[in-house]
Amino acid sequence: MYKIMKAEKLSANSYLMDVQAPRVAKHCLPGQFVIVKMDEKGERIPLTICDYDREAGTVTIVFQPVGASTSKFVHLSEGDAFRDFTGPLGCPSELLEESIEDLKAKKILFVGGGVGAAPIYPQVKWMHEQGVGVDVIIGAKTKDLLILEEEMKAVAENYYPCTDDGSYGYAGMVTGKMEELVKEGNRYDVCVIIGPMIMMKFGALTAKKLEIPQCIVSMNPIMVDGTGMCGACRVLVHEEVKFACVDGPEFDGYGVDFDSAMKRQQMYKDKEQRKLLALQEGDSHHGGCGQCGGDK
């Protein structure tokens, strides 16, 4: 069992937990993820590692309750435990493979959307610890949905919040802020974009238009099993089939076929919503409506 050392609500739809997992904390690196299972019958949930403390032996995860299993996570408190907490899985960020001197010579921009701030944070923190200054753009629909702001400000050279409704920071999409920064004279060598699939698609298109040489995206949103066995996370990168969980989760944003990836992601939405409905209705959920599949 993996004890929850801290459970915190970050925003209306985002939650943070510190989990006691010494082996994972000892070996994980920014960009990797874990598979979390609440109990023996629970669903396997892939979650990106948001932070880690090797000395304390803890790993930090951030999640949104979008399905039945993650909705159950919300009711866990400090002192409760997960049945399984497997990792680290996936490949670390490719930027970690470069020398510190090479990284310091580059201008790097991180762009996150919503809960995408969570997987961006450990990378920015790692850069900060190596003396590499980076710029960070984080977007959300409204100010109350922005997460990890103080943590990000502490490790980013420049932090730019964006809100769709204009309630805080830059008024508009993250792509608009990307364009504004370049128009102001900033020239970036690398752009790392993590967030909802549609946001990464248009973020990559914007980075290409701005002639940023390298673009990296995370395909964590399409992972299901997390081990490469189910094949659900197949993604075309430069017309070559890759698996997000074992070959990624990060890939060349200029080579990802986002349209096919979003179609694959949509395939699992109906089943996910049916399970959530069954959880919410409990014993009253008999499937008699003929619409949810519960009667089959």
pLDDT digits (tens, 9 = 90+) for 94-112: 999 999 999 999 999 999 9
Can you tell me whether residue 76 is helix, strand or coil?
coil
Domain end residue (candidates: 169, 190, 218): 218
Identify whether 239 is part of a domain.
no
CATH number, domain with residue 76? 2.40.30.10
Q: What pLDDT is stored for residue 269 in this prediction?
A: 56
Question: Do residues 63 and 117 share a domain?
Answer: no
Residue 123: CB partners within 8 Å, gap ≥ 6?
30, 31, 93, 95, 110, 192
Identify whether 225 is part of a domain.
no
Q: How far apart are CA 50 and CA 112, in angstroms?
A: 13
Domain end residue (candidates: 192, 218, 244): 218
Identify whether 290 is part of a domain.
no
Residue 204: CB partners within 8 Å, gap ≥ 6?
193, 215, 217, 253, 254, 256, 258
Q: How many domains does the chain have?
A: 2
Which residues span the domain enclosing 136? 94-218
Question: Do residues 105 and 66 share a domain?
Answer: no
Question: Quick check: 106 and 243 in contact, CB under 8 A?
Answer: no
Q: What pLDDT is stored for residue 227 in this prediction?
A: 64
CATH number, domain with residue 213? 3.40.50.80
DSSP 165: T
**Lookup result for tokens 């970050």:** 10
pTM across the whole model: 0.87
Domain end residue (candidates: 69, 89, 109): 89
> Averaging pLDDT over each range in 39-43, 183-187, 218-222, 223-227, which range is the top one?
183-187
Question: Do residues 135 and 159 share a domain?
Answer: yes
Question: Do residues 73 and 41 share a domain?
Answer: yes
Question: Do residues 115 and 28 share a domain?
Answer: no
